[in-house]
């Protein structure tokens, strides 16, 4: 019997494509990391940065965890990413396409 599993990289890639279509003005660095953040929050069942970093796989597994923690802290503290615009675009797409 053959089992197919989606890896974290596959899921992150698909989420990245989804976000690119929904929020076209999102920058590439944010587009690269936000799917991993969301998947990390789901997998770790936590919003604490070190817990999220522990779940990262793929490219992130070769990096020192403290570097990933600093990267996430920079992501959350940057003025270039407006989380409210991001959520607004997601919710508009979800609610406007379901009607």
* Residue 29 forms part of a structural domain: yes
Query: Percent of the chain, pLDDT > 70?
Result: 89
Domain membership flag for residue 79: yes
pLDDT for res 2: 59
Predicted TM-score (pTM) of this structure: 0.78
- Domain with 51 in it: 8-98
Indicate whether 2 belongs to any domain: no
Specify the pLDDT at position 26.
85
Tell me if 33 is assigned to some domain.
Answer: yes
> Does residue 87 form part of some domain?
yes
The residue among 83, 95, 93, 2 whose CA lies nearest residue 38 is 83
For 3-51, the pLDDT digits (tens) are 667 788 888 888 999 999 888 888 888 888 888 888 888 888 888 888 8
Per the domain annotation, does 18 fall within a domain? yes
Structural domain includes residue 3:
no
Q: Give the Cα separation of 71 and 97 in Å (integer).
A: 34
Q: Domain tally for the chain? A: 1
The CA-CA-CA angle for residues 11, 97, 8, to 5°, reads 5
């Amino acid at each position: 019997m053959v089992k197919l599993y989606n890896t974290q990289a596959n899921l992150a890639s698909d989420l990245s494509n989804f976000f690119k279509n929904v929020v076209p003005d999102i920058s590439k660095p944010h587009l690269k990391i936000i799917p991993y953040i969301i998947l990390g929050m789901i997998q770790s069942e936590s919003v604490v940065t070190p817990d999220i970093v522990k779940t990262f796989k793929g490219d992130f597994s070769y990096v020192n965890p403290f570097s990933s923690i600093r990267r996430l802290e920079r992501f959350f503290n940057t003025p270039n990413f407006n989380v409210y615009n991001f959520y607004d675009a997601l919710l508009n797409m979800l609610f406007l396409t379901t009607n």
